[in-house]
Structure 1
Amino acid sequence: MTDPTGALAAAYPELIQCLADADEYAATDVALGLLAAGVPAESVLLELIAPAQAQVGRWWQANEWSVAQEHAATHISERVVAAVSSYASPRPNRGRVVVACMDGEWHALPARLVAEVLRLRGWNVTFLGASVPAAHLVSYLHRNDAQAVALGCAVPMRLPQAHAMIEACRRADVPILVGGRGFGADGRWAERLGVTWAPDAVTAAELVGNEELLDRPPSGPPPQLADDEYAGLVRRRGELIDSALGALRQASPAVRDYTPDQLDRTIEDLGYIVDFLAAAVYVDDPTLFEEFLDWLLEVLGSRGVPAAPVQATLAHFAGELRDFPRARRFLGADRDLRVPAPAVTG
């Protein structure tokens, strides 16, 4: 896809401003104006709405936008996607494809964009939305004849749930395609789980009709599933969070004076550390946890939080997990963590 007239490039700052102003109607007018001028719907979806939403995410990560602003912008983007789809009004001439997000995955817009691109290319698409439980997905597949199922995962800590859904779809004998950065920027964890990965919506649309590729047999479960480190981390999740919070309170008087909101955020961050560690153990790849730490430190740095509490937490978890050799190794509690300088993204 290209933008020979520069219409998409010219419309991008307009759409960004509409998202910043939470102006749904103006945002919709920007997209529909492009369609009326002859810009293909797929280009509007992938070269305008998708990059604008990615910028929204960067602003939230840099603490330039609040959670409320990000949610408002995401809702507007979803409404604009719906308007583009309605305007294009494609009619299916190919088989049914079911698109859904992994159980626990609430970032639904990327999967929605894939669904709409498939629809524009003639597929009869059923989009099930965010966080679909595996049992409900399989039940739907049994009642509705699908040529393929496309599953989205944006966050790597959901990989264990993703694996369960992939295996459930295999048992339902439906070809599977997965996408999203939750499988790694290069799809490495999709390969680890023995499933075909699409890096973007265009590739997904090209792959979904390739039954021979999607039906490839899995290479077998990762060898680490033969031990109980992952299951043990899941069982001890609450205990680990409670003990780490207690250690932080003891080490820092400031933590003892946290407001309820600050306390909730701290507990949430501790939970993320445990969940990402467990996912890294599940796929037996320390880079998953290392990439999460880089992201966490960037987010905390943009909010003025130092690295010391994170480093202390890693050391605490390492001390608590003496019987978890891979988890202790992945924690790397002796690493020198540094909060990066806030990036200027506006």
Structure 2
Amino acid sequence: MTAPARPAASGPVEAYPEFLDCLAAADEYSATDVALRLLDDGIPAERVLLDLVAPAQEQVGRWWQRNVWSVAQEHAATHISERVVAAVAAQTRVRPHLGRIVVSCMDGEWHALPARLVAEVLRLRGWDVAFLGASVPAAHLVSYLHRDDAHAVALACALPMRLPHAHRMIEACRRADVPILVGGRGFGPDGRWARRLGVHWAGDASSAADVLTDERTLHRPPPEDLDHLADDEYPGLVNRRAELIDTGLRDLTALVPAMADYTPAQLDATVDDLGHIVDFLTAAVYVDDATLFTSFITWMVEVLDSRQVPAHTVDRILEVYADMLHDFPRAHRFLRAGRVAVRS
């Protein structure tokens, strides 16, 4: 009897549609089989992680953004991707011959899969990696670093609204005298906000591995550029967060009569959206960059449009906040720019 023929060897690009189908069907076992088959065909594990799992997860995010997928579908797909990463890692043991790297998500950062991919690529490159996972409080991270003789710490942040928290975490690591590398979209598409905070940034896992092996660069971070924080706009916005959200909710309730029939879940989602507007505005003031806020507003309008929420509601909230913050020069300017972005 002849053994059944194996599927023809293929790379991550060819396997990508099949892998996406597995995620769409929430089929963990088939998704894992796709990844392990690539390994059996001689495809390096790093390519499987970065050319198959990572882009598939980005597509999942885009489907959620366009309301093609529900939150539940996105969560199921993310869980499967995490399981696939674990399966690939189990099949590719590499004995570490380089120093210890601590990989962690920022406090409040729950998107752990991108950081996990970085951790696995570093492990494949021979680093001894300690992956701490999602949302690690700064004090706990520093305590871990004091116990661990780390070559460097790699911190992940996916959302720019977390930048003020990220800066405090970076400062805590500096006090522990450990070199720092950051990554993730939270620092801007080109790492511009990482440079503003005075820290090295890597755009992907391969770049992170390259920076970590460059001792001279690693120990010479760029200078901070935060002189604008000498004024009191940032703390003033933090102190007025609850007031801004409450006022925005009252105005929206008057503007949209249908909100009277909102379920508690719908009201919670609206409050969350208002909180995100305030938090992104606050982060933009922190790094003194209007594009942080306008990029978020553009994204938010696209998401709300896919959920049949008209853009004029966002414009109205920005108008209300601009009136409330007329004595906050940078915040007021950013809100005006946000209104232009809504209308464009």
Shorter-chain TM range is over 0.9
Q: 2:85 aligns with which of 81, 101, 111?
A: 81
- 1:288 aligns with 292
Paired residue secondary structure (2:213): coil
Q: Give 1:256 shift.
A: 2.3
Q: Give 1:214 shift.
A: 1.7
- 2:32 aligns with 28
Asked whether 1:131 is paired with 2:135, we answer yes
- Please list the CA deviations of residues 180-214 of structure 1 after superposition, one character each: whole Å capped at 9, or x if unmatched: 11110011001111111101110101111222212
**1:316 corresponds to which letter in structure 2?**
V
Normalized against structure 2, the TM-score is what? 0.95
**2:39 corresponds to which letter in structure 1?**
L
- 1:170 aligns with 174
- 1:270 aligns with 274
Task: Quote the Cα distance in structure 2 between the aligned partners of 1:225 and 1:142.
Answer: 30
Q: 1:241 aligns with which of 237, 240, 245?
A: 245
Report if aligned partners of 1:178, 1:190 keep a CA contact under 8 Å in 2: yes
Asked whether 1:230 is paired with 2:247, we answer no
Task: Quote the Cα distance in structure 1 between the aligned partners of 2:28 and 2:10.
Answer: 23
Q: Give 1:265 shift.
A: 1.0
- Show the 5 A alignment for 1:113-132: 113-132=117-136
Q: 1:335 to 1:17 in 2, by over 3 A?
A: same
Q: Give 1:83 shift.
A: 0.4
- 1:39 aligns with 43
| Identity within the alignment, % | 68
- 2:204 aligns with 200
- 2:94 aligns with 90
Paired residue secondary structure (1:194): coil
Paired residue secondary structure (1:304): coil
Q: 1:48 to 1:339 in 2, by over 3 A?
A: farther
Q: 1:334 to 1:215 in 2, by over 3 A?
A: closer
Asked whether 1:256 is paired with 2:260, we answer yes
Task: Quote the Cα distance in structure 1 between the aligned partners of 2:194 and 2:340.
Answer: 30
Q: 5+ residue gaps in structure 1?
A: 341-346
Report if aligned partners of 1:297, 1:339 keep a CA contact under 8 Å in 2: no
Q: How many residues align?
A: 336
- Please list the CA deviations of residues 281-338 of structure 1 after superposition, one character each: whole Å capped at 9, or x if unmatched: 0000001001001110110111111011101100111111122111111100783455
Task: Quote the Cα distance in structure 2 between the aligned partners of 1:166 and 1:12.
Answer: 36
- Please list the CA deviations of residues 49-104 of structure 1 after superposition, one character each: whole Å capped at 9, or x if unmatched: 10111110110001000000000000000000010011001111111000001111
Q: 5+ residue gaps in structure 2?
A: 1-8
Task: Quote the Cα distance in structure 1 between the aligned partners of 2:21 and 2:168.
Answer: 41
Q: Give 1:239 shift.
A: 1.2
Task: Quote the Cα distance in structure 2 between the aligned partners of 1:217 and 1:201.
Answer: 19
**1:22 corresponds to which letter in structure 2?**
A
- Structure 1 moving runs of 4+ over 2 Å: 333-340
**2:287 corresponds to which letter in structure 1?**
V
Q: 1:149 aligns with which of 153, 159, 184?
A: 153
- Please list the CA deviations of residues 21-62 of structure 1 after superposition, one character each: whole Å capped at 9, or x if unmatched: 111111111111111111100010000010111110110001
Q: Give 1:221 shift.
A: 5.1
Report if aligned partners of 1:175, 1:211 keep a CA contact under 8 Å in 2: no
Task: Quote the Cα distance in structure 2 between the aligned partners of 1:69 and 1:164.
Answer: 34
- Show the 5 A alignment for 1:301-312: 301-312=305-316
Report if aligned partners of 1:85, 1:116 keep a CA contact under 8 Å in 2: yes
Paired residue secondary structure (1:90): coil
Q: 1:220 to 1:58 in 2, by over 3 A?
A: closer
Task: Quote the Cα distance in structure 1 between the aligned partners of 2:342 and 2:97.
Answer: 54
- 2:11 aligns with 7
Paired residue secondary structure (1:100): strand
Instruction: Indicate the RMSD between aligned Cα atoms, in angstroms.
Output: 1.5
Paired residue secondary structure (1:177): strand
**1:179 corresponds to which letter in structure 2?**
G
Task: Quote the Cα distance in structure 2 between the aligned partners of 1:236 and 1:333.
Answer: 21
Report if aligned partners of 2:109, 2:158 keep a CA contact under 8 Å in 1: yes
Q: 1:101 aligns with which of 105, 108, 120?
A: 105
Report if aligned partners of 1:190, 1:197 keep a CA contact under 8 Å in 2: yes
Q: 1:218 to 1:194 in 2, by over 3 A?
A: same
Asked whether 1:317 is paired with 2:317, we answer no
Paired residue secondary structure (1:335): helix
**1:196 corresponds to which letter in structure 2?**
H
- 1:300 aligns with 304
Report if aligned partners of 2:150, 2:178 keep a CA contact under 8 Å in 1: yes
Q: 1:80 to 1:247 in 2, by over 3 A?
A: same
Task: Quote the Cα distance in structure 2 between the aligned partners of 1:319 and 1:267.
Answer: 20
Paired residue secondary structure (1:291): helix
Report if aligned partners of 2:121, 2:205 keep a CA contact under 8 Å in 1: yes
